[in-house]
Amino acid sequence: MNAKQPPPRAAAAAGCGPIRPDNGQPTAPLRSRVFETVRSAGHIPRIDVAKSLGVSPASVTAQVGELMEMGLLNEVPDTARPTARGRPPVALAVRADAGFVVGLKLSRTQHTALLVDLAGQPIAETTLACGPRRRSLDQCLTEAATLFDRLLAQTGLTRGDISCLGLGLPGMVDHAAGRVVWSPMLTGTDLALRGAAEDRFGVPVAVDNDANLVTLAELWFGKGRAMADFAVITIEQGVGMGLVIGHRLYRGAQSLGMELGHTKVQMDGALCQCGQRGCLEAYVADYALVREASTALDMIQEDRESMAMTLERLYDQAKAGNQAARVIFRRAGRFLALGLANVVHLFDPPLIILSGERMRYDYLYAEDVLAEMQRLTLNRATAPQAIQIHAWGDLMWARGAAALALSHMTEAMAAPQ
């Protein structure tokens, strides 16, 4: 395998990917399980791989030999086991330059891209500002191509060097079929996103919705790496949910599940951007807060002012003591508490991670909001649901898209031929 060297970067951190007790389902090919064990550890001796998987050292050695011949693994000094004499101890590590993937997150106002190597280490990132209008699929992919090429220009790599591109956007996305059923940023419905993107970029593409991207970011790089089961709730321009069961992302029978933002909390209620009424996100998402601000505070959004700027003004007023502004956040927080209680009753996850840029707005997860969530759940007096806050910032979406691409790429590379 001819590896192209990217620009120098900081030393690699610990591994990435889910940390599973046996690093994969027992039915998965042993080669894939060995590779995932090494990737999740960062570096690990052969004997520890065998112990982790519960197989013989000889079986691991055979699979490692094949993975090294394929250029996916190499040996590195095992600094954790110093020795005074004899052959220096070695560990296994993913050969970082054996492949590169790109994670690309599309949104109404800003697209974000991240290039990572096969070991999951970031190499380059970039963003592209765009108007908040809806656009056609072709227009969206033209913007994505601009961002893709801008990212590659930073590294000296070409499209031919990219093994897979992970692509995510808001809305209902059928991951398996590669289609967008509906998105608030696109005109048209039931669009063949994956096929159109592969034709435009000339590389394999994996697609998913943005809430699943954040969940993958938590599963691969964040608070959920060692968790078998957890839920992620995202609050941005919409309200999304991702669910991990048995260390794996659960999408539903048609990859269209976990649409928490479009569960109904008010019959004939506020109009949602999906066209229906009473959805949770119509009371919690960005546009819902801006709508309330324009009504209660006469805070009209100017044409040249972004929704984010309006939200910042609303938040500043709440912090300054404006009671009307505080009531807006408090109302949104109560609806969020209701949504979280529903998640607990439906799935009973041991951990719920509240993630997204709106987690900077502490009114949405204030102590009284989380206490109300607990009051709305049954049989929780002795074991309140664990809640964690993780405000990653905008790059988290692209990092999840990169995890999507890595998963797609390594499944193909490490599977038996």
Q: pLDDT truncated to tens, each residue of the chain (417 aa)?
A: 444 545 444 344 478 999 987 755 566 789 989 999 999 999 999 999 999 999 999 999 999 999 999 999 999 988 776 665 656 789 999 999 999 999 999 988 889 999 999 999 999 999 999 877 889 999 999 999 999 999 999 999 999 999 999 999 999 999 999 999 999 999 999 999 999 999 999 999 999 999 999 999 999 998 899 999 999 998 877 899 999 999 999 999 888 899 999 999 999 999 998 999 999 999 998 889 888 888 777 665 554 357 778 888 888 888 888 898 889 989 999 999 999 999 999 999 999 998 876 677 777 777 888 889 989 998 666 677 888 888 777 788 899 999 999 999 877 766 666
> What pLDDT sits at residue 253?
87
> What pLDDT sits at residue 303?
43
| Domain extents in the chain | 1-81+89-97, 98-216+396-414, 227-392
Q: How far apart are CA 122 and CA 406, in angstroms?
A: 12
> What pLDDT sits at residue 7?
46
Distance (Å) of CA 177 to CA 3, 187, 194, 254: 31, 19, 8, 9
Strand ordering across the sheet containing 110-117: 122-129, 110-117, 100-105, 162-169, 205-209
> What pLDDT sits at residue 280?
95
> What pLDDT sits at residue 411?
78
> What pLDDT sits at residue 94?
96
Evaluate whether 98-216+396-414 and 227-392 have a shared fold: yes
> What pLDDT sits at residue 355?
83
Handedness of CA 406, 402, 38, 27 (dihedral sign): negative
DSSP annotation of 178 reads T
> What pLDDT sits at residue 1?
40
DSSP annotation of 272 reads P
Distance (Å) of CA 254 to CA 173, 178, 348, 399, 403: 9, 11, 22, 24, 21
| Residue 102 near residue 126 (C-beta atoms within 8 A) | no
Contacts with 60 (C-beta within 8 Å, 6 or more apart), sequence order: 34, 46, 49, 50, 53
> What pLDDT sits at residue 314?
87
Name the 3-class secondary structure at 387: strand
Q: What is the CATH number of domain 98-216+396-414?
A: 3.30.420.40
Distance (Å) of CA 408 to CA 54, 165, 247, 257, 374: 25, 9, 16, 20, 38
Domain covering 1-81+89-97 assigned CATH 1.10.10.10 in the classification: yes
Q: Structure tokens of 172? A: 């209902």
φ, ψ of residue 125 in degrees (nearest 5)? -145, 155
Residue with tokens 């910032």: 393
Fold of the domain built from segment(s) 227-392? Nucleotidyltransferase; domain 5 (3.30.420)
Contacts with 130 (C-beta within 8 Å, 6 or more apart), sequence order: 108, 109, 110, 111, 143
The one catalytic residue in 210, 229, 298, 394 is 210
Name the 3-class secondary structure at 279: strand
Q: Which residues pair with 305 in a beta bridge?
A: none
Is 210 catalytic? The answer is yes
> What pLDDT sits at residue 131?
76
